[in-house]
Chain A
Amino acid sequence: MPDKLLAIEQKRPEGDWRDAKVEFRKGTICYSAAPKNITYLSLPNPREWQPFDADWKLPPNWKEIILKGMKERLRKYRSFRLFMEICVRCGACADKCHFYVGSGDPKNMPVLRAELMRSVYRRYFTLTGRLFRALVGARELTEDVIKEWFYYFYQCTECRRCSVFCPYGIDTAEITMMGRELLDLIGCNINWVMEPAANCFRTGNHLGVQPHAFQDSIQFAADEAKEITGLPIEVPINRKGAEILFVMPSADYFGTPHYYTLLGYLMLFHEIGLDYTVSAFASEGGNFGLFSSHELMKRLNAKIYEEAKRLRVKWILGGECGHMWRVFHQYMDTMNGPADFLEPPVSPITGTHFENARSTRAVHICEFTADLIHHGKLRLDPRRNDRWNVTYHDSCNPSRAMGLLEEPRYILKNACRNFHEMPENTIREQTFCCGSGAGLGTDENLEMRLRGGFPRANAVKHVREKHGVNLLACICAIDKATLPTLMEYWVPGVEVAGVHELLGNALVMTGEKERTTDLRGEPLVREEATRE
């Protein structure tokens, strides 16, 4: 944690952005991927190197590889070619990026992040660029440009906020994804993405939790839920013939405060008597392949349908995770479908047909729970959450790549009595990223994370001062992992929780013993007299 409070400034940018020199400074970058992870994933150019090194040990024909890779992708992705060609540089996106706001670095303006690649595109793939070079904004592809790409494409969380404001819908996430794919081709990637990806490929989850340890964790959570409620809560693992396969991000069973959300799920499933199973193979809904390349995303995602098919379930229920839902919603069916071995999802409790998921056959837990509450299937005592004064952080992917905005709010409003929205320009589709998404949530990158998270923290601070908010609810595993640090730094006194943790607190279960603690094991505080 930086000792001094970071200075957040908006300076007048100076110089010429086409100058590619980048200063690699600790705290603002992620370290390189360890060769063992690259090797395990059979990706090119595994080697020992660090971004600070003068020599990045690129393959001798690196330039050819990059240009060939660009050419191939320009033919495969209309988004890529279109976004290379139609930007008018109006600058509407400039101050929409949390990294620009927090770092004041003009190359973090989405338009310039994209120009870093467009300049190379123009030089090698357009007539005007070949003829007029600098006049039309074309640049030679040099090693410095590669280093600059690495710096700035790993300083973008693919949150898509800029895309909301762009008059042509240009999505920097698409460009960053292409940039990272190209960098992968010459072995310039970061360990915080590649290690989870390699783990996930091998064990099924990012944390590298093997099946027996998976079982331990789940069992531990079940026991804890048992203790809180006094009910015999069991969690089936790898059970064939269950109706529903429940997939969650691995952090839910290994991280805090994710863990309390897991307790919430387990209690909910027990209460409604859900016929479900979790899987030690499909033990990760998250997908760090998304932060590396489309190919790796597909490789890691394949296990979800494979396992659903093997276990002969009817449909898939997905837990609280942001980028997992980007993949489930926008990629899974296309990449690894069709899921014709599953059935269109129907809630076994309410009979609701989840029409919006009839092809992918995966339902978000918030959709599922909101439907339960709406049908009066859950008894909730929101007073149990009275110690919390809650606000809700829309996670980037569910809001801007899905539109899951009201479901979690509906759950929160039923599970808590004190709920306050942050300012309008900072929530829903305009939500600010936590600053640590897309694989950047590592501690070596802490300064940049705190800078990138500043706009989000700033909005939380606003509601903290105005309404005394002390809990930031969210539905994203990366949020849960990184927002606590951000809050501690910018807005001390605000904690972070999953929506289903609060639901689990409020859930009045059949036959449960009187609760003395919440899911965090802290004594329940009630303010009945004042609030009724």
Chain B
Amino acid sequence: MKALSPLLAVLAIVGFAVVGGHTHAGLVFLAVFVPYAAFAVFLVGFCYRVARWAWIPVPFRIPTTCGQQKSLPWIKPASLDNPSTGWGAFRRMALEILLFRSLFRNNRARLHDRRLVLGEDRYLWLGALAFHWSLLVILLRHLRLFVQPVPVFVSVLSRLDGAFQVGTPALYISDVVILGTLVYLTARRFRNPLARYLSMPIDYLALFLLLGIVTSGLLMRFVVRVDVAAIKQFALGLAVFRPVVTSAITPIFLVHLLLVSALAAYFPFSKLMHMGGVFLSPTRNLANNNRSKRHVNPWNHPVKTHSYAEWEDEFRDKLKTANLPLEAEDARQITGH
């Protein structure tokens, strides 16, 4: 049931695109104004969110250490999972961001006959990694529509991505993978009892938007074909702020465009900001050199403590009885100290 409202929201966007494109004014609004506004919201919002994080101090150095520390020279430290230098932390972050290191550790704790059994469970890691990489490949491939002439690396990437040459036009590996992983990630939220319990409508919204975008993209490629040259002309026009609304903007393309715009505009308000946030996580991006290099807390406020002098004062008699050394014979001396 939690998935109903996001589903309706995505269907409403599709409906807008289909209906709104029928008049010229509607077309201009949906194909020009909305994408510009969405992109602006994305850029400004994303930068604002990251900058706001950047302006909040990191008062303490709190890396989660996932391996042996660097201590004695003859003990081998886990320089990736428990880095002791900035370079090590950089490599740890690279591993985290490019390969999802932490998710790779994932396992399943299940009860069997009053026993806890920990089994490997790398599906989430595989699904998430495959999804994000194919998303990146797809985004890069789309540069062919926004940049003239088409950069060489984009052509090469597209050729590699379509290397299997299945179908006409060639089916991209990344398209298959992203659709498969999105279906998996969505199904997981429905089928896994824990994931279903903790999921909220907004969790489905991102998935449904992405599914809509991928589906409309695939439809354009294989079923409801569009004039790619004209689409490129439109995209380039957008990029240089000389938009031209042409007949190439068919309903299916408008659906694709509007869903992308919705995702972009929604991005800075959502958990999708994990894209920027993952770089800033203080449990990951700091070196575990706590005891060798002092970390400074910019707001290290003074606090009320119980000083030695006060303590000695309070327990003077007991210290005397126990023959423990005193700083002062009585309280007066200590205050004059």
Q: Are A and B associated in one complex?
A: yes
User: Could you list which residues of chain A lie within 8 angstroms of chain B, going by C-beta atoms?
Assistant: 8-10, 12-14, 17, 42, 74-79, 81-82, 85-92, 94-96, 101, 106, 109, 111-112, 115, 126-128, 135-137, 160, 163-171, 174, 201-204, 210-212, 215-216, 237-240, 280-281, 294-295, 298-299, 302-303, 306-307, 310, 328-331, 333-335, 337-338, 352, 354-362, 367, 370-371, 374, 399-407, 410, 423, 425-426, 428-430, 454-455, 458-459, 461
A106 — which chain B residues lie within 8 A by C-beta?
194, 197-198
A215–B300 touching, CB < 8 Å:
no
Who on chain B is nearest to A6 by CB? Answer: B114
Q: Mark B292-304, 1 if CB is under 8 A from A, else 0.
A: 1111110111011
B66 — which chain A residues lie within 8 A by C-beta?
164, 400, 403, 429
Stretch in contact with the other chain, from B57-65, B173-181, B222-230: B57-65
Report the bound CA distance from A337 to B295 in whole Å: 10
Known A78-B282, A237-B324: A112·B198 in contact at CB below 8 Å: yes
Who on chain B is nearest to A430 by CB? Answer: B105
* Total A-B residue contacts, Cβ distance less than 8 Å: 305
CB-based closest 3 A-B pairs: A403-B69, A86-B277, A169-B283
Is B319 in the interface zone, CB < 8 Å from A?
Answer: yes
Known A165-B105, A423-B118: A356·B69 in contact at CB below 8 Å: yes
Report the bound CA distance from A160 to B105 in whole Å: 14
Tell me the chain B residues, 111-149 only, with Cβ under 8 Å from chain A. 111, 114-116, 118, 124, 128
Report the bound CA distance from A328 to B60 in whole Å: 12
Is B322 in the interface zone, CB < 8 Å from A?
Answer: yes
Known A82-B53, A281-B308: A337·B294 in contact at CB below 8 Å: yes
A407–B64 touching, CB < 8 Å:
no
B281–A82 touching, CB < 8 Å:
yes
Who on chain B is nearest to A136 by CB? Answer: B202
Known A169-B284, A329-B291: A163·B60 in contact at CB below 8 Å: no
B299 — which chain A residues lie within 8 A by C-beta?
76
Report the bound CA distance from A136 to B314 in whole Å: 55
Is B68 in the interface zone, CB < 8 Å from A?
Answer: yes
Is B44 in the interface zone, CB < 8 Å from A?
Answer: no
Is B110 in the interface zone, CB < 8 Å from A?
Answer: yes
Is B43 in the interface zone, CB < 8 Å from A?
Answer: no
B84–A78 touching, CB < 8 Å:
no
Who on chain B is nearest to A356 by CB? Answer: B71
Nearest Cβ in chain B — how far from A56, in angstroms?
Answer: 26
Nearest Cβ in chain A — how far from B41, in angstroms?
Answer: 12
B292–A402 touching, CB < 8 Å:
no
Who on chain A is nearest to B296 by CB? Answer: A334
A77–B116 touching, CB < 8 Å:
no
Nearest Cβ in chain A — how far from B320, in angstroms?
Answer: 9
Report the bound CA distance from A137 to B305 in whole Å: 41
Is B169 in the interface zone, CB < 8 Å from A?
Answer: no
Tell me the chain B residues, 61-88 only, with Cβ under 8 Å from chain A. 61-72, 74-78, 81-82, 84
B288–A367 touching, CB < 8 Å:
no
Report the bound CA distance from A9 to B118 in whole Å: 15
Is B106 in the interface zone, CB < 8 Å from A?
Answer: yes
Nearest Cβ in chain B — how far from A471, in angstroms?
Answer: 21
A78–B300 touching, CB < 8 Å:
no
Is B155 in the interface zone, CB < 8 Å from A?
Answer: no
Is B336 in the interface zone, CB < 8 Å from A?
Answer: no
Report the bound CA distance from A210 to B273 in whole Å: 52
B75–A92 touching, CB < 8 Å:
no
Is B307 in the interface zone, CB < 8 Å from A?
Answer: yes
Nearest Cβ in chain A — how far from B67, in angstroms?
Answer: 6
Q: What are 5 A-B residue pairs whose CB atoms fall within 8 Å in the complex?
A: A78-B56, A169-B64, A360-B294, A402-B69, A426-B118
Tell me the chain B residues, 245-299 only, with Cβ under 8 Å from chain A. 269-274, 277-278, 280-284, 288-297, 299
B59 — which chain A residues lie within 8 A by C-beta?
76-77, 294, 334
Report the bound CA distance from A385 to B182 in whole Å: 56
Nearest Cβ in chain A — how far from B315, in angstroms?
Answer: 5
A402 — which chain B residues lie within 8 A by C-beta?
65, 69, 288
